[in-house]
Structure 1
Amino acid sequence: MVRIQKIIADAGISSRRAAERLLLQGRIMVNGQIINELGTKVDPSQDHIRVDGKLIPQSQPKVYMILHKPQGCVSTMHDPEGRKTIKDFFRTSSLRIYPVGRLDFNTEGLIVLTNDGDFAAQLLHPRYHIPKTYVAKVSGVLSDQNIAQLQKGVMLDDGMTAPCRINKIKKLPTSSWLEITLFEGRKRQIRRMMESVGCSVIRLKRIGFGSLRLGTLPPGQTRPLEPEELAQIRTVLTRSSKRSRPGTH
């Protein structure tokens, strides 16, 4: 018996967290009965599971890809406001995949796409501290003291930020190019961090997610992860998991 959230995530319909919302909204049926309890377990080989009336397909092979999300689109599969979504960049694909995390509408860069719910959950879970690396063009005067303050942590409206890494790439008369590595994920975090020291973000691009790198992949294009890339990031997740267990060092 398997938790129904896992089956839905493994089928590529949604993430586990989104599947929980579907359950609570009464949109999932098992053998003709509406199920809305989060702990429900089912037998995927015998039970008929429907989401919004549609029978979910048998589990498909695991898929791991990256997308270079361009500016001017939302990093979801659907948008109620009718804006362009990342799904527009692989409409011809029959694969049911979904993004791991999000980037702001005006932020571009690397997004991981998968139908592996466990893998996605690990990448996003705070216990693993998966680094995310960005290149940012920032307007205003950013002093060394400001950078030290940002690296140590600044107070935002949702609490103190975790320590991060910031390297100056290029300094211009009225702006700077920075490489920023975060170890947590909050909504519009880099933009809000810069605002806290009197600066603003002109351009923001994510170039790294853990050991994965965007490289020269053009905006709007996808590519599958190479076997060695997948093995490397799984190794990072395994090591991080061991370090986070009680009694380990």
Structure 2
Amino acid sequence: MRLQRFLASAGLGSRRACEQLIVAGRVRVNGRVAALGSRVQPAADRITLNGRPLSTQRLTYGALYKPVGYTCSNRDRHAEKLAIELLPKDWPRVFSIGRLDRDSEGLLLVTNDGELAQKLAHPRHKIPKTYEVGIRGSLTAAEMERLQKGMTIGGERMVADRVFGVRPAGETSTFQMVLSQGKKRQIRVMLAELGHEVIRLKRLSIGPINLGDLKPGKWRLLNDQELAKLSRMG
């Protein structure tokens, strides 16, 4: 197999991140500095990163309900709480596919399959993600149309695939919003452009994977059917 694929299967990140490790000269195969595009035989070759031997880990795929207040990062010295710390201690090193900001909650997919993670995160696949959004004020039909037609904010074109299920409740409203773009803080930015403050943002699904009845801070392993659907999307 190609060296960068092996590194990804060893839990070192996406294939692109692994390519950067190789280019930086940090990876050796049988004592020699590896070249990008090298092929390896994991059972026979000695592969090291910064002198540390590597081996493939069991591939793990999970769904986590990230609560508000947790940061989606494996390392962040400024973060009080990391979402990854909610997972079992005996899991291999995993990372999230995409992110949720600290003030958002809901579905987060985690894995140590760097190749699949890179495919799913690539913008060209336009994997839809569904969110439940709570705002101050009421969302009008004209505003729904504007969100779905798109808007240019700060030089970036942002558009929602679908906005539906508006439920007014006094001075607030709740609705669902589907995105396939994945711009940074896109929902908050688009609604701020319309003059609405987001008071709750919860991700309900990523492609075919649903949050379901998971509770905040809890996790589950993906089943074979879900993995097959994700693989087809990537």
The 1:156–1:51 alpha-carbon spacing in structure 2 relative to 1, beyond 3 Å, is farther
Residues 140 and 198 of structure 1 are in contact (CA less than 8 Å); yes or no, is this contact kept in structure 2? no
Distance 2:44 2:159 in 1: 46
% identity of equivalent residues: 37
Secondary structure of the structure 1 residue equivalent to 2:131: strand
Q: For 1:160-186, what per-residue CA distance to the aligned partner results, in whole angstroms no more than 9, with x for missing partners?
A: 124411113311232210101101111
Unmatched 5+ residue regions in structure 1? Answer: 239-249
Q: Which residue of 2 aligns with 1:31?
A: 30
Residues 71 and 79 of structure 2 are in contact (CA less than 8 Å); yes or no, is this contact kept in structure 1? no
Are 1:117 and 2:110 counterparts?
no
What letter is aligned with 1:56?
Answer: L
What letter is aligned with 2:150?
Answer: G
1:190 to 165, 184, 187: 187
Q: Could you state the TM-score of these two structures normalised by the residue count of structure 1?
A: 0.84
Report the CA distance between 1:120 and its aligned residue.
1.5
Report the CA distance between 1:55 and its aligned residue.
1.5
Secondary structure of the structure 2 residue equivalent to 1:232: helix
Secondary structure of the structure 1 residue equivalent to 2:80: coil
Distance 1:80 1:51 in 2: 23
Q: For 1:14-51, what per-residue CA distance to the aligned partner results, in whole angstroms no more than 9, with x for missing partners?
A: 2223323434554433334455x644444433332223
1:65 to 48, 59, 62: 62
The ranges of structure 1 where at least 4 consecutive aligned residues each deviate by more than 6 angstroms after the TM superposition are none
The 1:217–1:202 alpha-carbon spacing in structure 2 relative to 1, beyond 3 Å, is same
1:133 to 130, 135, 141: 130
What letter is aligned with 1:55?
Answer: P
Q: For 1:194-235, what per-residue CA distance to the aligned partner results, in whole angstroms no more than 9, with x for missing partners?
A: 111111211111010001100111111110112222233334
1:50 to 35, 48, 51: 48
Which sits farther off after the overlay, 37-46 or 162-171?
A: 37-46
Residues 15 and 98 of structure 1 are in contact (CA less than 8 Å); yes or no, is this contact kept in structure 2? no
Are 1:201 and 2:229 counterparts?
no
Report the CA distance between 1:75 and its aligned residue.
0.9
Q: For 1:101-159, what per-residue CA distance to the aligned partner results, in whole angstroms no more than 9, with x for missing partners?
A: 11111111111112222321222122222100000101234221111001111112251
Distance 2:128 2:82 in 1: 25
Matches within 5 A, 1:60-209: 60-209=57-206
Q: Which residue of 2 aligns with 1:243?
A: none
Residues 138 and 168 of structure 2 are in contact (CA less than 8 Å); yes or no, is this contact kept in structure 1? no
Q: How many residues align?
A: 234
Secondary structure of the structure 2 residue equivalent to 1:217: coil
Secondary structure of the structure 1 residue equivalent to 2:217: coil
Distance 1:156 1:46 in 2: 53
The 1:144–1:226 alpha-carbon spacing in structure 2 relative to 1, beyond 3 Å, is same
Are 1:226 and 2:223 counterparts?
yes
